[in-house]
Each structure stands twice: as C-alpha cells, then as structure tokens.
C-alpha cells in the first residue's frame, strides 16, 4: 500500500475514532421501523454523530424499534421522533436503512412515502442502502436516476424507470444509494460529502 494511502486511512480512522465538528449544526433523520438491518442504521448513526451532526431516529411509533442482524433479530434502538412529529424542513439529510422487513413495512405508510417524496424534491441529500430504495420507488423519485441497491431490487428499480448499477455507492443529484453493509464506509463518506458541499 502506498504511504499516502496509509496516511489517509490513519487520518480517517483517527477522525472516526475521536470525531470532529465537520457536520456541526447539521440535522439528519434516519427513518426506520422494526426489521431494519442493524448496521445499516447504527453505523451511519454513529458516523454522523462522530462528525458532529444531530441525528434523529424517526419511526412510526415512539419507544424503540428492533433491528435485524443478518440472520436473526438484533438489538433495539431508541426512537427520537415519530413520523408525525417531523417536517422535511427540520433536516439537512435523510437516511433510509435496508433490511427486507423495514422498508417493506414503511412503503405501506403514506406519511413516510410523502416525507421521502418531499425530501427528494428539496435537493438535500437522501441516502438509501440495500432494500431502502423500495421507499424511493414508492415515492416515485427514481425515474431517470442512476441507482444501486441489493441485487433483488434491480428489476423493481428498472421497472420504476431507474438506471440500475452494480456499484458500492452511486450518487445522482442528491440521491445516494449503496448495495449492502459492506458498502457502508463509502455510503457514509458520500453522505458527509454531500452535506458539506454547497448546493
């Protein structure tokens, strides 16, 4: 590995370990419900908080929601706000974790679909990973966009008018998408990049 790459990785590791204020003053909503893929919520949440952002887990009900950890139920995560308590104007970015169960439940909720649709039209960063793009399909915001996802969504996305790509992270305008937990580092970095790039 070249020395420059080693130094870059060490700096990134130190920043992720100790955090910084790069995203200070930014507010991020993570919309999820029971059955979210554990790391697809907790890793962006941790990364964004370490960078100084205020992060709210938004769900259908108050209390807590339970994650799915690869092959079985995972840990509970506290809910900060319910969907009826939040407005698009309150947030600088929106994150949609995957897991099969979570977005499948959420796409049946008109209040969530409306929130995602409205957010997409603001031009603010909207990031969806794994099965999360099901919500983008339901909100009808993928037409003509380059999108990636878990491979089983490829046909759904193409049928909704998207150009599907098999890449770790794809950015088209304000929409960021990734395929799976292995892509989280690139996914998180693109969220930060779009949050710190003047629009």
- Catalytic residues, by residue number, are 130-131
What b/e readout covers 142-177, taking b as 16+ CB neighbours within 10 angstroms? beebbbbbbeebbebbeebebebbeeebbbbebbbb
Q: 16: exposed, middle or buried (C-beta count within 10 Å: 0-12, 13-18, 19+)?
A: middle
| DSSP 8-state symbol, 23 | T
Residue 196 in tokens:
């710190």
Are residues 120 and 126 in contact, defined by beta-carbon separation less than 8 angstroms?
yes
Are residues 119 and 27 in contact, defined by beta-carbon separation less than 8 angstroms?
no
């Amino acid at each position: 590995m070249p020395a420059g790459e080693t130094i870059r990785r060490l700096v990134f590791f130190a920043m992720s370990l100790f955090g910084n204020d790069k995203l200070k003053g930014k507010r991020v909503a993570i919309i999820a419900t029971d059955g979210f893929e554990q790391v697809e919520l907790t890793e962006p949440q941790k990364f964004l908080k370490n960078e100084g952002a205020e992060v709210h887990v938004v769900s259908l009900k108050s209390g807590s929601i339970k994650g799915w950890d690869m092959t079985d139920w995972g840990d509970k995560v506290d809910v900060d706000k319910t969907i009826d308590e939040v407005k698009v104007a309150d947030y600088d970015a929106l994150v949609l974790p995957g897991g099969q169960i979570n977005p499948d439940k959420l796409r049946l909720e008109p209040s969530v679909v409306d929130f995602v649709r409205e957010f997409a039209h603001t031009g603010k960063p909207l990031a969806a990973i794994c099965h999360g793009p099901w919500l983008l399909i339901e909100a009808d915001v993928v037409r003509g966009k380059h999108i990636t996802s878990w491979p089983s969504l490829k046909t759904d996305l193409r049928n909704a008018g998207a150009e599907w790509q098999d890449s770790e992270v794809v950015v088209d305008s304000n929409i960021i998408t990734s395929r799976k937990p292995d892509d989280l580092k690139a996914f998180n970095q693109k969220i930060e990049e779009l949050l710190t790039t003047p629009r």
